Amino acid sequence: MHCPFCRHADSRVVDSRTSDDGLSIRRRRQCPQCNRRFTTIETASLSVVKRSGATEPFSREKIVNGVRKACQGRPVSDDDLAVLAQRVEENLRASGSAELDAYEIGLAILGPLRDLDEVAYLRFASVYQAFNSLEDFEAAITVLRAENEAADAARAATAGSASEDAPTA
């Protein structure tokens, strides 16, 4: 990395620190020629391909803005939205692709949003998946309900076997 002050072609890393969320590394560097120090931040590249074909860096803020409307009037705080955006970013990074389109990002939002608030999820899904009839909503609600019942049954089964091992009052 070139020194930003004197353009010397080399620099020395004097300190490396991983950010709290583990998604980036800050490096303090020193130029061996002018001895000045500077910081670089290294992150895995993650960009969004827009409909126009242009790319822009992935932004958690845009995720939050994208779901905020669906969460209007729901018991969802700004902190909840920040956690959701973080989960979406982690899922997208885990997918391993460096470039994502709006469809893939929408898909990555659905799961965490459903865990957060089912009404907001249905609102978001209705726009994202272009629901255009009551039947589309009914189908989505049927899937949600069936999956919730399956999850309840699984929880009940787990609780049942746990209580055999260690009965509680």
108 is a site residue for Zn ion (CB under 5 A): no
Distance CA 50, CA 30 (A): 38
Q: Is 13 helix (H, G, I), strand (E, B) or coil?
A: strand
**Only segment of 26-34, 69-77, 88-96, 117-125 that touches Zn ion (CB under 5 A):** 26-34
- Residues 29-58 close enough to bind Zn ion by CB under 5 A: 31, 33-34
Cβ-based nearer residue to Zn ion, 6 or 157: 6
Pick from 2, 6, 83, 149 the residue near Zn ion by CB under 5 A. 6
**Only segment of 25-33, 66-74, 84-92, 106-114 that touches Zn ion (CB under 5 A):** 25-33
Distance CA 158, CA 169 (A): 17
Cβ-based nearer residue to Zn ion, 2 or 69: 2
To Zn ion, the closest distance from the beta carbon of 14 in angstroms equals 14
14 is a site residue for Zn ion (CB under 5 A): no
Distance CA 121, CA 117 (A): 6
Cβ-based nearer residue to Zn ion, 6 or 141: 6
DSSP for 44-109? Answer: ---EEE-TTS-EEE--HHHHHHHHHGGGTTSS--HHHHHHHHHHHHHHHHHT--SEEEHHHHHHHH
13: Cβ–Cβ under 8 A, 6 or more apart, which residues? 27, 28, 29
120 is a site residue for Zn ion (CB under 5 A): no
Pick from 2, 5, 13, 57 the residue near Zn ion by CB under 5 A. 5
Contacts with Zn ion, residue ranges (CB under 5 A) = 3, 5-6, 8, 31, 33-34
